Chains A and B, each alone.
Chain A
Amino acid sequence: MNLTEWLERNRWVWSLLGVVVLWAILSVATSRFSLHSLSGVAASASFLVLVALGQMLVVTTGRGNIDLSIASVLTLSAYASIVVTQGLDARLPLAFGAVVLIGLVTGAVNALLVVAVRIPAIIATLATGYILATGTLIANRWAAGFGMSPLLKTLAAGRIGGFPVMLLVALLAVVLVGLLLRRTVYGRAISAVGQNERAAALAGIRTGRVVASAFIASAVMAALTGMLLGAYVGGAFLEMGAPYLLQSLGAVVLGGSLIFGGSSTALGTLFGSLLLVLIVTTMQIVGLPPGTQDIVQGLVVIAVLALAGGQAVRRRRSRASPA
């Protein structure tokens, strides 16, 4: 196997390269940037990794599938976990149940709209996202004055020997999703549906179920992340989920998963998330004014897709033309 072929198969290498290069530049340019600060970046990237893995599953199923409701799911779950736990460890299982329920219900509604009613995912998830956003406005009134459950706080913000616990959680999730995609029948089915839904259906895959499960997984991941993120930042606020919408997409495409679906890499999503958070951190260190962050993130996503998306289209065309 030659190098170009290997690179073609392992697209996550580019995002890893990006992380290493950017980190090296930062370490040289600002002497205070060290391995320790990288672990801080990794800790805050961990939340993005979890959301992005869910988004990746949805994107993998193709047909322009995308989950735009994750921002609202995340925020609402953060509120729900605060309202339910009321700062007590004993109520943590209850909160966990509530948060998973939010994810399951939202994911199921998205899946129903996309799979059964055949509404384009972008519209369906935009609409459910706005409906949930209304829920967060209402939750915002209740959630005032509650503390955080200490156990949850340890999980989200604690460190074991200087190593963030959250990063372990994220790495575990990456390994699990990676194995799921590469080594299980279900994972192969997701990719197959994304590459050619009709062919997958004719090969005996229940495509509707596969797509539905991806939406549910995405919503549940976003819900759990909301719970952890709430504990990490020490509260919930209305706009807390908003950055994760574009960032999750950004992490997925930076990592080398195809936006048209059919081919994804969990490892790439991990490095994509790291790279994106590193870029954001860099901007904060440089002290750029408000708004620049949005601009750079938007540009990064567009730029990556303009490069990768064009390539994918060409590849698809060349593959499609002989037939």
Chain B
Amino acid sequence: MTEAAGRLNGKGMSGAALALHLMKLRTFIALFAVLVFFSLAAPNFLSTANLILMSKHVALNALLAIGMTFVIITGGIDLSVGSIVGLCGMVAGGLILNGIDLGFGYTVFFNVPEIILITLAVGVGIGIINGLLITRLNVAPFIATLGSLYVMRGLALLSSDGATFANLVGRPEYGTTGFATLGAGSILGLPLTIWILIAVALAAAYIAGRTPLGRHIFAVGGNERAAGLSGIRVNRVKMFVYMFSGFCAALVGLIISSQLMASHPATGETFELNAIAAAVLGGTSMSGGRGTIGGTIIGAFVIGILSDGLVMMGVSSFWQTVIKGIVIIAAVVVDQAQRKLQQRVVLRQMAGEG
């Protein structure tokens, strides 16, 4: 930042504008940097098989990060996504293995599409609870979702007494087979997971850029009071973002259990950090009002490539958490530097015109 400020004083406006452009493109620059670095440092990094494998890893975090982006744009935060992933995985696993015991000797089994719908509904339902806590009961978002983080993790543990639901192949006579397709299937050579990501990302980008709802999300984050006074139903917008975040988390829970053909109650711990990191790295402002879906996805790729590349180079996976923590902090620092610089450039322009 000091460098940028120095340039501002030395060469005037053009230097500052250039620095501003560089900062706006920082996510691309970061993506380019990690790609070049690892293709040189790690053999086989650029092979098609590896790229597809990495995309599959990245897709999970990217899905969570898309939901998180909307939440952060409204000025909130959703710390419960990791627990929702765990709980939804357990819901899907439990429904496939055990069905729902009605209590008098009957057990209802659902087929896989129904199970997927039920699980997604659970995710959205948790989002509704988060949203109600935040909008109706005025609980601060970080507390409300921290509380539901614990509650949902507890429910996940409770659902199986801490055990894993393993071997989710289902039984043909109940019609519960075929769960593996979600995680392992592929269309036109691309894994289904990536198609899901593409679909969700396009839908989210459409909502953000082309619909009134999208404009309202940004308006609420930019200035909640002004948004409310200009007739936006702030509470409904907030409800939507937490529901959408819950939906994305439920999708991830389903995909992970389908990939592993097992659901473990601890799945998804610390996923919230990855999702926040991707969103922040992609240019979403923690103070709300700014962010893009495209940026978030690139952010998710930077983080995913970073962690997979480090594993390929044989760097201990311990260090990945450290690197992620540092990446988040660095991203926020650059974001704030950008905002200060932008204000200064705008001021100079106004001064120049006046």
Whether A249 contacts B143 in the complex (CB less than 8 A), given A291-B154, A298-B154, A310-B138, comes out as yes
Q: Is there contact, CB below 8 Å, between B318 and A138?
A: yes
- Total A-B pairs, Cβ < 8 A: 129
Against B, the Cβ 8 Å flags (1 = close, 0 = not) of A106-135 are 000000010001111011101110110110
The one of A131, A296, A299, A309 that contacts B321, using a Cβ cutoff of 8 Å: A131
Q: Could you give, for residues 121-155 of chain A, a 1 whenever the CB lies within 8 Å of some chain B CB and a 0 otherwise?
A: 01110111011011001100000000000000000
**Which of A86-94, A167-175, A185-193, A300-308 faces chain B?**
A300-308
Indicate if the CB atoms of A294 and B151 lie closer than 8 Å: yes
CB <8 Å contact, B324 and A130: yes
Say if the beta carbon of B5 comes within 8 Å of chain A: no
Given A249-B146, A298-B148, are A117 and B154 neighbors across the interface (CB < 8 Å)?
A: no
Do B329 and A122 touch (CB < 8 A)?
Answer: no
Which chain B residues (308-350) contact chain A, with CB distance < 8 Å?
A: 318-319, 321-322, 324-326, 328-329, 332-333, 336
**What are the residues of chain A within 8 A of B325 when measuring CB–CB?**
127-128, 130-131
Say yes or no: A294-B322 contact (C-beta < 8 A), given A119-B332, A127-B273, A309-B137. no
Cβ–Cβ contact B151 & A123, under 8 A: no
Which of B153, B156, B319 contacts A134 (CB under 8 A)? B319
> Could you tell me if B328 and A123 are in contact, using CB atoms closer than 8 angstroms?
yes
Is there a chain B Cβ closer than 8 Å to A204's Cβ?
A: no
Which residue of the partner chain, among B133, B159, B321, contacts A133 with CB atoms under 8 Å?
B321
Q: How far is the CB of A313 from chain B (nearest CB, A)?
A: 5
Identify A124's interface contact among B270, B318, B329, CB under 8 A.
B329
Smallest CB–CB gap between A79 and chain B, Å? 14
A64 to B76, CA, bound (A): 12
| Given contacts A128-B325, A131-B322, A302 and B336 within 8 Å (CB-CB) | no
Contact of B162 with A by CB under 8 A: yes
Interface size on A, residues (CB 8 A): 41
**Which residues of chain A are within 8 angstroms of B273 by Cβ–Cβ distance?**
126-127, 130
B133 touches A302 (CB 8 A): yes
Establish whether residues B157 and A298, one from each chain, have CB atoms under 8 Å apart when the complex forms. Answer: no
Separation in Å of the B287 CB from the closest CB of chain A?
A: 8
Please encode chain B, from 130 to 157, with 1 for each CB lying within 8 Å of some chain A CB and 0 for all others. 0001000111101110111111011111
In contact, A123 and B280 (Cβ under 8 angstroms): yes
A228 within 8 A of B: no
Q: How far is the CA of A130 from the CA of B158 in the complex (A)?
A: 26
Given A123-B286, A130-B270, A305-B139, decide whether A291 and B144 contact each other with a Cβ distance below 8 A. Answer: no
Specify which chain A residues have a CB less than 8 angstroms from the CB of B324 in the assembled complex: 127, 130
Q: Mark A243-268, 1 if CB is under 8 A from B, else 0.
A: 00010010000000001100000000
List, in ascending order, chain A residues with CB within 8 A of B137's CB. Answer: 305-306, 309-310
**A299 CA to B322 CA, complexed, in Å:** 31
Chain B residues contacting A301 (CB-CB under 8 Å) are 143, 146-147, 150
The distance from the CB of B336 to the nearest CB of chain A, in whole angstroms, is 6
Q: How far is the CA of A69 from the CA of B329 in the complex (A)?
A: 14
**Smallest CB gap from B161: residue in A:** A289
Residues of B within 8 A of A134 (CB): 318-319, 321-322
Q: Which 6 A-B pairs have the closest CB atoms?
A: A291-B157, A294-B154, A298-B150, A295-B154, A291-B158, A298-B151
Beyond A138-B318, A295-B151, 8 extra complex contacts between A and B, CB < 8 Å: A119-B329, A127-B326, A246-B147, A259-B140, A290-B157, A290-B161, A302-B139, A310-B137
